[in-house]
Amino acid sequence: MKHTLILTLLSLAGVLGANASRSISSPSGELLLTVDVDGEGRPFYSLDYKGKSLVKESRLGLTADELDLTRGFGIASVDTVTVDRSWTPVWGEYDNVRDHFREMAVNLTGEEPARDLTVRFRVFDDGLGFRYELPVNRVGRNYLTVRDEATEFNFTDDHTLFCIPGDYDTDEYLWSETTFSGLPEALGNYRRHSEAQRTGGTTIQTPMLIKTAGKDPVYVNIHEAALAGYPAMLLDVDTQENGMKAHIVPDRLGVGAYLQMPFSTPWRTLIVSDDARDILASQLVLNLNEPCAIEDTSWIKPMKFMGVWWEMFTGNQKTWAYSDDYLAKPGVTDYSALKPNGRHPANTENVKKYIDFASENGIDGVLVEGWNEGWEDWASYRKNRQFLFDKAYPDFDVDALREYAKAKGVKLIMHHETAANAADYELQLDRAFQFMKDNNYDAVKTGYVGAIIPRSEHHTSQWMVDHARHVIERAADYEIMVDSHEAPRPTGLCRTYPNWLAQESARGGEFESMGGNPPSHTCILPFTRLKGGPMDYTPGLFETRMSYYNEGKDSQAGTTLARQLALYLTMPSPMQMACDLPDNYRRFPDAFQFIKDVPVDWSDSRYLEAEPNRYITVARKDKHSDDWYLGAITDDKARKSEVRLDFLPKGKKYEATIYEDAPDADWKENPQAYRIRKINVDSGTRLKLRLAPGGGTAVRFTPK
């Protein structure tokens, strides 16, 4: 890790008057942050971009049962510093990340009762982060019961919003493109998820994206960084005034956070640019996270994997459960007494077939879902949902598969579906991880489907945020990598804990079997959800018609086959699935070649074209070779463009293998029409892209 210099340090001591506003600009000067307190001592900030107001006066502060930290303040002092350093991620989109910002810590103080609050702002060229720092109170109080956060994000006009509804439990929604004033109608169109708790009203989740109204729009991603020890943030939207206010996820008693001081909240983040490509390239959220906390990271290995997984989604009656008759005999715990249902793919013989296929095709891992006891119990929705993470089903031979996978050079990936019984999972955690290590597993996919047990908590409340980090830290102790589903949405903690390879935390590819994801879905996720960290989206779906698997199903994936290849570039993740059945890959071996070739770790990334909800074109360089790759996707409209290959090193010749939609391809009518061609290119080439409706292009560039 390379830390370069701290340039300036300036401290203004002494209590400044209420009218002494304080400003600081980004290193480039394009962003200007101003902080002040009003006549009632209420702190607020505003943000200008390129000389124009972007965020109007917006309040700051917290309300706790013990102290009101929203008013009665004066600015005691301001500390400013400029930092320019860089760091080396263990994996990611870049091999080196510059962390360059000007910081202003505004130290607020008030009397009767005595209270102090520091708001630390970091202004980067691509946006702003700020957090609250709570010292031990001068009269000795060291805890706070936080109910509300006053933080506002007030905008100047009826801008476009890209968002999903506020929900304490799930983020598996399709995205709305609306405006402040159009939000009530847009949110009215959402169906509530079973067992999840919607907030109602006009509350939305972060990460969300704003595109400002008028010509020369500015894009703003609002999210948070380093969410730890505190609940996740939603946003209450004032649809008349174009404003938003933080809404921290409460527990059942209405408490957001029980804090022990000193404490620093997560950073509230705004990524800002008038070029949509900069939003995708921004590393601001990662920069605001703490450096890697794991000393030896040599065991953390980005990977591609397949899974005994899609079989259960395709509607052909395959089950995670071994038996159907648990319900009929409540109280049965002896699995040898249960009648196998014969539709259980997590069996030794079938898993061996996946291992064979992975081994033949250079795929690193095989995930197996439904291998352990407990699924019958879950299906029955009995109150004491419990899975056992060291007890395999009778037809899953742990020893034989351990040896078989080892011999074939493939890593088995374990699955821990907790059915949201998080408290019980914590109790089993050490045994579960030890069982993994004993059987040569070094990655786990976790899951939290359903309402959290204990029932007083939500998926994104403080307790679950703490749980998620606890699991990651314990996993690191055992040198285990994690892909978590239904966990609090990511906020860049994968920088600190790089064994947290991926998360779901959005509507993923599995929904292609449940109504389908429209092509625009993967054109908005990189602008929103992915700013927190990589997603286990599960790309690589070659058979997109669910009727292929089961005549009774009519759902269809919103994608062409070629687009599925492009997703490996536009949805980067160090733990990337090839989600389809081996048989479907055997039907299209020439297209599958791209999935075999494409890396999952990059030394450089260049966003060439981007517009939220419409299209994305990105080029990336393999971390371990001189190969470059390109991925382009569009929404449900066909798209033609021409991109310059000036990212290739000058004077060097490359062979481009292009996987593209055939001229008559269309996601709905003709999704599997693709063609593959090879051409010679160099940095001067302009590459013509032709994308079908819902289509995409994937390219591999190899040096000649």
Catalytic residues: 510
Instruction: In whole angstroms, give the CA distance from residue 89 to residue 84.
Output: 16
Structure tokens at 567: 């997703």
Residue type, 394: P
The least distance separating ligand NOJ from the CB of residue 32, rounded to whole angstroms, comes to: 43
What φ, ψ does residue 188 adopt, rounded to 5°? -65, -20
Site for ligand NOJ in 495-534 (CB under 6 A): 504, 510
Residue ranges binding Ca ion (CB under 5 A): 485
| Binding map of ligand NOJ across residues 319-358, x = CB under 6 A, - = no contact | ----------------------------------------
Total of residues contacting ligand NOJ (CB under 6 A): 8
What φ, ψ does residue 348 adopt, rounded to 5°? -50, -45
Structure tokens at 80: 């400013």
Q: Which is nearer to ligand NOJ, 35 or 471 (CB)?
A: 471
Q: Which is nearer to Ca ion, 415 or 485 (CB)?
A: 485
The least distance separating Ca ion from the CB of residue 504, rounded to whole angstroms, comes to: 5
Given a contact cutoff of 8 angstroms between Cβ atoms, the answer to whether 645 and 687 are in contact is yes
The least distance separating Ca ion from the CB of residue 383, rounded to whole angstroms, comes to: 22
Given a contact cutoff of 8 angstroms between Cβ atoms, the answer to whether 366 and 354 are in contact is yes
C-alpha to C-alpha distances, 250 to 100, 433, 640, nearest whole angstrom: 34, 31, 47
Given a contact cutoff of 8 angstroms between Cβ atoms, the answer to whether 306 and 354 are in contact is yes
Q: Under the criterion CB under 6 A, does residue 543 sit at the interface with ligand NOJ?
A: no
Distance of CA 423 to the CA centre of its chain: 24
Q: Which is nearer to ligand NOJ, 485 or 621 (CB)?
A: 485
Q: Which is nearer to ligand NOJ, 152 or 417 (CB)?
A: 417
Look at residues 361, 277, 325, 335 and name the one whose alpha carbon lies nearest to residue 615: 277
Q: Which is nearer to ligand NOJ, 522 or 634 (CB)?
A: 522
Structure tokens at 680: 């010679």
Instruction: In whole angstroms, give the CA distance from residue 23 to residue 62.
Output: 22
Query: Residue 274 pairs with which residues in a beta bridge?
Result: none
Look at residues 251, 65, 46, 71 and name the one whose alpha carbon lies nearest to residue 155: 46
Q: Which is nearer to Ca ion, 327 or 514 (CB)?
A: 514
Instruction: In whole angstroms, give the CA distance from residue 103 to residue 78.
Output: 10
C-alpha angle 512-515-518 in degrees, rounded to nearest 5? 65
Q: Which is nearer to Ca ion, 46 or 314 (CB)?
A: 314
Structure tokens at 147: 């109910």
Instruction: In whole angstroms, give the CA distance from residue 412 to residue 306.
Output: 10
From the list ligand NOJ, Ca ion, none, pick the one residue 369 interacts with, judged by a Cβ distance below 5 to 8 Å according to partner type. Answer: ligand NOJ
* Residue found under tokens 């292609």: 512
| Binding map of ligand NOJ across residues 434-473, x = CB under 6 A, - = no contact | -------------x-x------------------------
* Residue found under tokens 């310059």: 644
Structure tokens at 264: 């620093």
* Residue found under tokens 């019980």: 424
Given a contact cutoff of 8 angstroms between Cβ atoms, the answer to whether 534 and 572 are in contact is yes
From the list Ca ion, ligand NOJ, none, pick the one residue 417 interacts with, judged by a Cβ distance below 5 to 8 Å according to partner type. Answer: ligand NOJ
The least distance separating ligand NOJ from the CB of residue 451, rounded to whole angstroms, comes to: 14
| Binding map of ligand NOJ across residues 469-488, x = CB under 6 A, - = no contact | ----------------x---
Please provide the DSSP assignment of 3-22 as one string: ---EEEEEEE-SPPPTT--E
| Binding map of ligand NOJ across residues 303-322, x = CB under 6 A, - = no contact | ------x-------------
The least distance separating ligand NOJ from the CB of residue 519, rounded to whole angstroms, comes to: 21
Instruction: In whole angstroms, give the CA distance from residue 194 to residue 450.
Output: 8
Q: Which is nearer to ligand NOJ, 166 or 447 (CB)?
A: 447
The least distance separating ligand NOJ from the CB of residue 195, rounded to whole angstroms, comes to: 13
C-alpha to C-alpha distances, 541 to 537, 583, 592, 615, nearest whole angstrom: 11, 12, 10, 20
**Within 10 A of 486 (CB to CB), how many other CB atoms are there?**
24
Residue nearest to ligand NOJ (CB): 417
Residue of 126, 224, 251, 369 that binds ligand NOJ (CB under 6 A): 369
* Pairing state between β 6-12 and 74-87: antiparallel
DSSP structure class, residue 666: B
Q: Which is nearer to ligand NOJ, 510 or 543 (CB)?
A: 510
Q: Which is nearer to Ca ion, 539 or 693 (CB)?
A: 539
Residue nearest to Ca ion (CB): 485
Residue of 36, 126, 417, 622 that binds ligand NOJ (CB under 6 A): 417
Q: Would you say how long the chain is, in residues?
A: 704
The least distance separating ligand NOJ from the CB of residue 662, rounded to whole angstroms, comes to: 31
Look at residues 355, 364, 443 and name the one whose alpha carbon lies nearest to residue 402: 355
Q: Which helix (DSSP H) or strand (DSSP E) does residue 221 occupy?
A: strand 219-225
The least distance separating ligand NOJ from the CB of residue 370, rounded to whole angstroms, comes to: 8
The least distance separating Ca ion from the CB of residue 438, rounded to whole angstroms, comes to: 28
The least distance separating ligand NOJ from the CB of residue 541, rounded to whole angstroms, comes to: 14
Given a contact cutoff of 8 angstroms between Cβ atoms, the answer to whether 155 and 55 are in contact is yes
Contacting residues toward ligand NOJ, per CB under 6 A = 309, 369, 417, 447, 449, 485, 504, 510
